[in-house]
Amino acid sequence: MRDAIVKCRDRATAIAKGVDKKGKDVDPRPARTRRLQDGDRPAGETVSGLLDKFIERYAKKEAKLRSADQIEDTFERLVKPSIGKIGIYALRRKDVGDMLDEIADESGPVMADRTLAYVRKAFNWWMVKDENFKCQSSRVWQKPTRRSVGENAFWPTTRSGTFGPASLLSRIPPAMHLLSNRYC
């Protein structure tokens, strides 16, 4: 009887710590509670994590950029507070546009353009590393005309110059076409 009580107590402690019978870590919360509490957390990589990896791996080690500290400072001051918590697959063109407008208002349009260049470079670097994060290289993105309406109102063209429907955008990760042009 005493052994059963001890085993029961140990099992209750393990469950409270988040360990199942096989010794694997699990979340002890019910599925509904996890969804409600973690609903705003991105499922994968965040923009902040991607930018940190870009600075550590590319800017400081691979390319050994002299401007690595300046780029890191720009990311810390201007990019991470605005879009750092957003997942890289959940990031939308509007998020980047709002961030760049904020930067242009506070620090000027030159800093906004530099920030866009740094962010674009980081995302292009990540595209090579992550097979799920790629763009169809046969397409070139063009600015929308004044008649275009809507958030995703720009047309991809093939190299031959023929236009395709805007529904093609659904096949391309949003992060790639949102960085196509700041002034679109």
Q: What domains can you pick out in the chain, each with its CATH number?
A: 47-142+154-178 (1.10.150.130)
- Among left, alpha and beta (phi > 0; psi -120 to 50; other), residue 48 is alpha
| E strand or H helix that includes residue 141 | strand 140-141
Per residue of the chain (184 residues), give pLDDT as tens: 888 888 888 888 887 777 777 777 777 777 777 776 766 565 678 899 999 999 999 999 999 999 999 999 999 999 999 999 888 888 888 999 999 999 999 999 999 999 999 999 999 999 888 887 764 332 333 444 444 445 444 444 444 444 444 444 444 555 555 565 554 4
Phi, psi (deg, nearest 5) at residue 157: -125, 155
